[in-house]
């Protein structure tokens, strides 16, 4: 270690220049950074539910669905109809829009005395004008299940215009164009935008504004905490500069590797700021605590002491992040794991090599050397650490029991945890998109597309019968207000031919009815070209996991009974994908946590040459994780794509505190001939300060996420802050108490 | 003498001017001549082959016999594929249309209030299929001469989903060679190519290829075994005939 430390000082100029050049290089790469807010692009292709959903989107074009709600007093008004037509036309002519369905262009099959009409519900070139025409349109629409509640709200005050985008378009720019063009129509009615493309556009914008606003705030807050702790410019500048460089490198590598920022990876800078500064803080702390008068020698000796704990701390943190790579389903979470781990290692390397090199290159040694006496009299030591040590020795059992009670309560709270994967929940309640989604859910059966795929001969009476039966079954669910399939159209056509509203029993009849349906705009959206696949389209009106679960269970039961060789039925849609993500969140939570806990125990154990010490180091952090889930349950913070990350991140960062305490303990046991009491006291007095400063700076850094405009990130920030305080307190109370109690039974001996 | 030169110059000027500006021909005139070429036969019978080509290049073929009288009575009777054999569509004046489905043994009147709907899976809308003279549907404007083609820009009279149609007319024989159809967003949405061939006294659209540019889907309508003026009567265009 000393050798490394010496070479660092020797090659200081080389190190400083290299870092500078690399920073310029990576900084230049960052100009190509782009944002991908699409959670669905993050679904692994290997997953059947996800790949079917994507495939249906490609084949039938229905899953990239956006909706515009027009709210007014009465939809059946000639001006309102004209405005619907304007919106429909505007959408139709926007590049990237695949289909538009609205009151003014929806397909309608009428059977009259005169005959049959396959055409549009209203003639867009000759919209109803007189009150009589409008009234009869209203009566007609409310007489048909296909329109009521799906295109016009049941109270007749709002209507929805549904559009789908082509699969391969730049979602964001199309959504943006749609929003701008519709708003410039300057319609008197209230317009709301909903559906996946619009939400994703909104999320991208929020991510961008979060990055622009939050990162500087995090910088300032951490700078403030650092200044209060070190009371020197160097103590503020070095950690911040170090992490800033680490962030630039990480993002540079991310861009060069061809990745995009996602709703999750946009917090990489915040995480690195909070995590990365810790290593520099420990290095600086170690340097300033060293009392050798020759400052160069002091630097080397301080480095020699600190390299191992800092490496340990960062490796465990990186493992916490890397656990996502193995334990997670969404690729965006994996990517987040990889790049935060890379960033952590970069921050580590910089704090070991770059910081000391910089200090020695520019002779930024402290002018004064604090004596032991001064150290002991710092406010922190006097007010917190000293009384803490006394308390620990006086009431170890009470402290231990307090922790046990907390953990027990937390385990109880764990059962209250809800899972939320509904993207609408990611917006704050007053967000325009969230409001739109609520309206869509209340009035139009939601914006989450669901599909039932039928593989079989689409012109066979049996297959079409099964489709009708499935639709009837689906509509028994209170959250499904309408369904649409080619079977419906065939039924209506048959009715128009005067044979009743049912599927004809002869294939020949179906084939001939098809003649009129062929070429209708709707056909490619519901049936495949070679007539071997068809879908029921619908939307699901609830985003509650319980409802979705019930729906999926019912449907799966139905499918099992009705799916045959000739007519294979498969269910997919946003709900299925949501549930998949839902389950995957729980799975990835457990697997990433398990991986992380085992790795941490092993690594700490191996380096300290004692597995039992590895276990001791892990106890406070495991307790903290229970606390975390307890808090989520009790305070109603749901498990989502961001909060699922907290456990492993906390494990990685929080275990550092225990590592510092336990390595300190080990060190002082050796120095003080295995005197546990004095070792603990010295450990807390020396490491305690760094731990507290670190807890404060990390917690403060993450708390800034409260100002994020995305709910999962707000929750993420709050939870990490709570956990930092939890694991810091654990390392300074629970861990020493365990050591005291264990020692009472069986003498601990440092190896 | 001087005057003669002046006159000669004037004539030359006028002559050359008319060569450059076909406006002298008048866009209206060209369009009317085109209508005349297309709609001059008293009646016509023939075979029609409809080839649908999707974006992957996959083809689907339908065949029908066609009978037409004047420009407003037409009978379409499908002969293949077998599932569609016997399906017949009768178009009468004033947008009256009847459909006969043999599997049901019934005819039904088809209302096409929205004439922008496509006809039976083709890329032709009912509007495109209509034999109504262009001059009655559009106001023409002369654009240019391109090789042996007059290019006209047609603006719909009355309501239409199109904003304009650019039509190319053969300079010597006045049959259309191409049309380009623009939507209200001024995007080119469809284009058609015509191949005309003289059959007897008339020019016949041997093939019309219509491409829907948005869907990337193509329809070729090919005519064969054309007979003109064989003396079809109004009785050949009745609902009773439709069911035969």
Residues of B in contact with A518 (CB under 8 A): 120-121
Contacts of B106 in chain A (CB under 8 A): 497-498
Is the preceding omega at residue A624 within 30 degrees of 0, hence cis? no
B210 belongs to a structural domain: yes
Instruction: Kindly state whether residue A598 falls inside one of the protein's structural domains.
Output: no
Residues A391 and A333 in one domain: no
Q: What is the pLDDT of residues A144-171, one digit of tens each?
A: 877 888 889 988 899 999 998 887 788 8
Which strand (E) or helix (H) includes residue A271?
helix A268-289
pLDDT above 90 as % of chain A: 25
Q: Tell me the average pLDDT across A101-124.
A: 79
Tokens for B42, please give them. Answer: 């008293």
Q: Is the pLDDT of residue A372 over 70?
A: no
Does B183 fall in a domain?
yes
Arithmetic mean of pLDDT, A121-134: 83
Residue A223 lies in a domain: no
Question: What was the pLDDT predicted at A588?
Answer: 76
pLDDT-derived band at A230 (thresholds 50, 70, 90) equals confident
Question: B19 pLDDT exceeds 50?
Answer: no
pLDDT digits over A260-315, tens only? 888 788 788 888 887 788 788 778 877 877 767 677 787 888 888 788 878 888 88
Q: Alpha helices of A497-610 — where are they, by DSSP H? A: 507-517, 523-526, 545-562, 574-607
The average pLDDT across A330-344 equals 89
What CA–CA distance (Å, rounded) separates A698 from A654? 10
Hey, how many other C-beta atoms are within 10 angstroms of the C-beta on B50? 20
Point out the residue among B83, B108, B112 whose CB comes nearest to the CB of A508. Answer: B83
Q: What is the DSSP letter of A383?
A: I
Q: Is residue A213 in a domain?
A: no
Distance CA(B237)–CA(B28), nearest Å, equals 32
> In the structure, what pLDDT confidence band is assigned to residue A750 with cuts at 50, 70 and 90?
low
Instruction: From chain B, pick out residues whose CB is under 8 angstroms from the CB of A125.
Output: 159-161
**A569, A562 contact by CB (below 8 A):** yes
Give residues 486 to 545 of A whose Cβ lies within 8 Å of B: 496-499, 506, 508-509, 511-513, 515-516, 518-520, 529
Question: In the structure, what pLDDT confidence band is assigned to residue B20 with cuts at 50, 70 and 90?
Answer: very low
pLDDT category at B169 given cuts 50, 70, 90 is very high
Q: Do B109 and A116 touch (CB under 8 A)?
A: yes
Is A439 found in the same domain as A546? yes
Return the pLDDT at A278: 79
* Segment A721-731 mean pLDDT: 91
Domain check: are A447 and A573 in the same one?
A: yes
Instruction: Report the distance separating Cα A518 and Cα A502, nearest Å.
Output: 19
CB atoms within 10 A of CB A317: 32
Give the model's pLDDT for residue B24.
42
Q: Which residues of B touch A529 (CB under 8 A)?
A: 54, 58
Residue ranges of alpha helices (H) inside A329-452 are 331-349, 355-361, 372-376, 379, 386-394, 396-414, 432-444
* Same domain, residue pair A344 and A442: no
State the CATH number of the domain containing residue A238: 1.20.1640.10
Total domains in chain B come to 1
DSSP, residue by residue, A245-267: HHHHHHHHHHHHTT--B-TTGGG
CATH of the domain at B146: 2.50.20.10
For chain B, report the end-to-end CA distance as a whole number of angstroms.
Answer: 77
Q: Is residue B2 part of a domain?
A: no
Please indicate whether residue B6 or residue A393 has the higher confidence score (pLDDT). Answer: A393
Same structural domain for residues A331 and A442?
no
Instruction: Please report whether residue A549 resides in a domain.
Output: yes
In a domain? residue B19? no
pLDDT band for position B115 (50/70/90)? Answer: low
pLDDT in tens, A88-105: 989 988 888 888 999 988
A372 touches chain B (CB under 8 A): no
Query: What's the average model confidence in pLDDT over A388-399?
Result: 87
Structural domain that includes position B219: 25-242
> Where is pLDDT greater, at A177 or B71?
A177
Q: Does A424 reside within a domain? A: no
Read off the pLDDT of each residue in A44-63 and give the average, rounded to a whole number.
Answer: 78
What six digits make up the tokens of A213? 């606003």
Contact of B57 with chain A, judged by CB distance below 8 Å, is answered with no
Helix H or strand E encompassing B85: none
- Predicted-complex ipTM score: 0.80
The answer for A 686-725 residues in CB contact with B (under 8 A) is: none
pLDDT at A631: 92
CA distance B5 to chain A (A): 58
Residue B50 lies in a domain: yes
Percent of chain A at pLDDT exceeding 70: 96
In a domain, A513, yes or no: yes
Dihedral sign for Cα atoms in the order A118, A121, A125, A129: positive
Cβ atoms A61, A55 nearer than 8 A: no
Residue B153 predicted with pLDDT over 90: yes
Identify the sign of the CA torsion A490, A493, A499, A501: positive
Cα gap A12→A6, rounded to integer Å: 10
pTM comes to 0.76
Pick A512's closest partner by Cβ from B84, B117, B119: B84
Residue A110 β-bridge partners: A117
Average pLDDT value over all residues in chain A? 85
Q: Which domain range does residue A635 map to? A: 371-415+608-751
Tokens representing A206 are: 């929020």
Q: What is the mean pLDDT of residues A717-741?
A: 91
State both tokens at A699.
């917690």
Residue B45 lies in a domain: yes
Rg (CA), chain B: 21
Q: What is the spatial distance between Cα A634 and Cα B39, in angstroms, rounded to a whole number? A: 81
> What percent of the residues of chain B are helix, what percent strand, and what percent coil, each to the nearest 5?
20, 50, 30
- B18 is a domain residue: no
Residue listed under structure tokens 């070729």: B220
Structure tokens at A639: 């498990």
Q: Which residues contact B6 (CB under 8 A, 6 or more apart)?
A: none
Q: Are residues A574 and A456 in the same domain?
A: yes
Q: Could you tell me how many CB contacts below 8 A there are between chain A and chain B?
A: 90
Checking if the pLDDT of A11 tops 70, the result is yes
Residue A638 is classified by DSSP as P
Q: What are phi and psi of A568, to 5 degrees?
A: -85, 125
Q: Tell me the pairing of strands B149-156 and A190-195.
A: unpaired
Number of H helices, E strands in chain B: 5, 13
Query: Is residue A239 assigned to a domain?
Result: yes
Place of tokens 């995090």: A218
Cβ–Cβ below 8 Å for A518 and B160: no
Q: Is residue A215 part of a domain?
A: no
The residue-averaged pLDDT of B26-41 equals 86
CB contact under 8 A, B106 and A497: yes
Per-residue tokens: B122: 């083709």
- The CA distance from A508 to A731, in Å, is 78
- Using CA atoms, how far apart are residues B166 and B143, in angstroms rounded to an integer? 9
d(CA A331, CA A323): 13
C-alpha to C-alpha distances, A186 to A160, A180, A181, A191, nearest whole angstrom? 17, 10, 9, 10
Burial category of B39 from C-beta neighbours within 10 Å (exposed 0-12, middle 13-18, buried 19 and up): middle
CB atoms within 10 A of CB A741: 13
Helix (H, G, I), strand (E, B), or coil: what is residue A157?
coil
Top mean pLDDT of A74-78, B3-7, B95-99, B211-215 is at: A74-78
Residue A720 CA from chain centroid, whole number: 14
| Least CB–CB distance from B83: residue in A112, A124, A511 | A511
Nearby residues of B42 by Cβ (< 8 Å), 6 or more positions away: B69, B70, B228, B229
- Would the pLDDT of A719 be above 90? yes
**Of the candidates B58, B84, B104, which has its C-beta nearest A497's C-beta?**
B104
- Alpha-carbon span B6 to B12, nearest angstrom: 10
DSSP A598-623: HHHHHHHHHHTT-HHHHHHHHHHHHH
Structural domain includes residue B11: no
Report pLDDT for B23: 54
- Grouping H, G, I as helix, E, B as strand and the rest as coil, residue A649 is helix
Record: contact B101-A509, CB cut-off 8 A: yes
Residues in B touching A509 (Cβ below 8 Å): 101, 103-104
Of A653, A644, A721, A589, nearest to A343 by C-alpha is A653
Burial of A604 (0-12, 13-18, 19+ CB in 10 A): buried
**DSSP codes joined into one string, A129-152:** -SHHHHHHHHHHHHH-TTTBTTTB
Quick check: B103 and A509 CB within 8 A?
yes
Using the predicted structure, report yes or no on whether residue A423 has a pLDDT greater than 50: yes
Residues 6+ apart with CB under 8 A from A349: none
B120 in reach of chain A (CB within 8 A): yes
Percent of chain B with pLDDT over 90: 23
Average pLDDT over residues B70-82: 87
pLDDT of A636 above 60: yes
Q: What's the gap in Å between the CA of B168 and the closest CA on chain A?
A: 25
The count of domains in chain A is 4
Cβ atoms of A433 and A198 within 8 Å: the answer is yes
| φ, ψ dihedrals at A62, nearest 5° | -105, -10
Average pLDDT over residues A604-620: 83
Contacts of residue B56, Cβ cutoff 8 Å, sequence gap at least 6: none
Chain A residues within an 8 Å CB radius of B159 = 125-126
Q: Which pLDDT tens digit goes with each residue over B193-236?
A: 999 888 888 888 889 999 998 778 899 999 999 898 888 888 88
> Residues 80 to 139 of A: which have CB under 8 A from any B CB?
89, 92-93, 110, 112, 114-120, 123-126
* Banded model confidence at residue A486, pLDDT cuts 50, 70, 90: very high
């Amino acid at each position: 270690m000393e050798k490394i430390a010496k070479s660092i000082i020797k090659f200081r100029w080389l190190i400083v220049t290299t870092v500078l050049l690399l920073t310029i290089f990576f900084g230049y790469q960052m100009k190509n950074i782009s944002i991908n807010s699409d959670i669905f692009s993050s679904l692994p292709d290997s997953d059947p539910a996800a790949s079917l959903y994507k495939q249906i989107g490609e084949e039938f074009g229905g899953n990239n669905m956006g909706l515009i709600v027009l709210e007014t007093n009465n939809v059946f008004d000639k001006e309102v109809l004209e405005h619907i037509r304007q919106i429909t036309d505007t959408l139709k002519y926007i590049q990237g829009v695949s289909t538009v369905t609205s009151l003014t262009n929806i397909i309608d099959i009428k059977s009259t005395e005169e005959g049959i009409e396959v055409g549009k519900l209203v003639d867009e070139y000759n919209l109803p004008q007189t009150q009589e025409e409008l009234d009869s349109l209203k009566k007609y629409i409310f007489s048909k299940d296909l329109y009521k509640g799906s295109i016009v709200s049941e109270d007749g005050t709002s209507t929805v215009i549904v559009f789908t985008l082509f699969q391969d378009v730049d979602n964001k720019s199309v959504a943006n164009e749609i929003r701008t063009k519709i708003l410039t129509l300057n319609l008197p009615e209230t317009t709301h935008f909903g559906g996946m493309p619009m939400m994703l556009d909104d999320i991208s914008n929020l991510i961008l504004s979060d990055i622009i606003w939050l990162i500087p705030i995090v910088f300032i807050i951490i700078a403030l905490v650092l200044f209060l702790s070190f009371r020197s410019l160097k103590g503020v500048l070095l950690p911040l500069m170090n992490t800033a460089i680490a962030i630039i490198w990480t993002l540079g590598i991310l861009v060069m590797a061809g990745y995009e920022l996602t709703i999750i990876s946009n917090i990489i800078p915040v995480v690195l700021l909070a995590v990365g500064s810790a290593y520099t803080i420990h290095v600086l702390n170690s340097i300033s605590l060293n009392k050798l008068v020759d400052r160069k020698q002091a630097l080397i000796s301080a480095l020699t002491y600190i390299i191992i704990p800092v490496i340990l701390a960062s490796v465990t943190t990186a493992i916490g992040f890397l656990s996502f790579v193995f334990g997670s389903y969404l690729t965006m979470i994996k990517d987040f794991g990889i790049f935060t781990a890379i960033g952590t290692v970069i921050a580590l390397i910089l704090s070991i090599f770059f910081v000391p090199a910089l200090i020695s290159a520019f002779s930024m040694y402290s002018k004064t050397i604090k004596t032991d006496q001064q150290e002991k009299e710092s406010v922190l030591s006097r007010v917190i650490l000293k009384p803490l040590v006394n308390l620990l020795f006086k009431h170890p059992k009470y402290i231990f029991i307090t922790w046990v009670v907390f953990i027990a309560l937390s385990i109880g709270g764990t059962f209250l945890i809800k899972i939320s994967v509904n993207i609408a929940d990611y917006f704050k309640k007053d967000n325009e998109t969230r409001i739109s989604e609520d309206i869509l859910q209340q009035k139009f059966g939601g914006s989450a597309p669901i599909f039932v795929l039928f593989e079989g001969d689409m012109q066979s009476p049996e297959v079409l019968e099964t489709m009708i039966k499935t639709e009837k079954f689906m509509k028994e669910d209170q959250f499904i207000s309408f369904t649409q399939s080619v079977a419906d159209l065939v039924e209506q056509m048959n009715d128009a031919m005067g044979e009743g509203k049912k599927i004809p029993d002869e294939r020949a009849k179906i084939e001939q009815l098809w003649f009129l349906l062929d070429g209708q705009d709707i056909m490619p959206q519901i049936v495949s070209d070679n007539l071997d696949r068809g879908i029921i389209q619908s939307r699901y009106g609830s985003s509650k996991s319980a409802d979705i679960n019930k729906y999926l269970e019912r449907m799966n039961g139905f499918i099992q009974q009705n799916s045959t060789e000739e007519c294979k039925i498969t269910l997919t849609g946003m709900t299925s994908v949501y549930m998949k993500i839902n389950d995957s969140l729980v799975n990835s939570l457990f697997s990433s946590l398990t991986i992380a806990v085992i790795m941490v125990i092993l690594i700490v154990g191996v380096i300290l040459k004692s597995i039992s010490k590895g276990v001791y180091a892990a106890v406070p952090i495991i307790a903290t994780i229970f606390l975390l889930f307890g808090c989520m349950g009790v305070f109603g913070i749901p498990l989502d794509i961001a909060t699922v990350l907290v456990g492993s991140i906390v494990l990685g960062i929080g275990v550092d505190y225990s590592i510092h305490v336990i390595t300190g303990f080990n060190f002082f046991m050796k120095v003080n001939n295995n005197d546990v009491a004095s070792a603990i006291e010295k450990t807390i007095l020396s490491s305690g300060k760094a731990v507290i400063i670190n807890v404060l700076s990390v917690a403060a850094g993450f708390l800034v996420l409260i100002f994020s405009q995305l709910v999962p990130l707000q929750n993420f920030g709050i939870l990490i802050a709570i956990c930092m305080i939890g694991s810091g307190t654990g390392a300074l109370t629970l861990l020493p108490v365990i050591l005291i109690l264990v020692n009472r039974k069986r003498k601990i001996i440092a190896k | 003498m001087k005057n003669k030169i002046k006159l000669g110059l004037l004539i030359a000027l006028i002559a050359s001017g008319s060569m450059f500006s076909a406006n002298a021909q008048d866009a209206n005139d060209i369009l009317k001549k085109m209508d005349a070429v297309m709609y001059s036969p008293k009646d016509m019978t023939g075979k029609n082959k409809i080839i649908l080509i999707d974006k992957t290049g996959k083809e689907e073929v339908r065949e029908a016999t066609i009978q037409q009288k004047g420009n407003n009575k037409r009978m379409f009777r499908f002969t293949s594929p077998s599932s569609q054999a016997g399906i017949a569509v009768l178009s009468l004046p004033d947008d009256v249309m009847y459909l006969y489905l043999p599997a049901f043994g019934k005819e039904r009147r088809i209302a096409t209030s929205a004439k922008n709907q496509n006809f039976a899976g083709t890329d032709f809308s009912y509007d495109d299929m209509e034999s109504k003279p262009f001059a009655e549907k559009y106001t023409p404007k002369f654009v240019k001469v391109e090789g042996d083609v007059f290019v006209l820009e047609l603006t719909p009279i009355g309501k239409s989903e199109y904003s304009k149609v650019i039509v190319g007319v053969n300079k010597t024989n006045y049959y259309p060679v191409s049309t380009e159809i623009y939507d209200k967003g001024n995007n080119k949405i469809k284009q058609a190519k015509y191949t005309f061939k003289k059959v007897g006294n008339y020019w016949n659209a041997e093939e019309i290829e219509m491409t829907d540019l948005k869907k990337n889907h193509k329809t070729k309508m090919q005519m064969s075994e054309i007979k003109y003026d064989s003396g079809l009567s109004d009785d050949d265009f009745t609902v009773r005939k439709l069911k035969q």
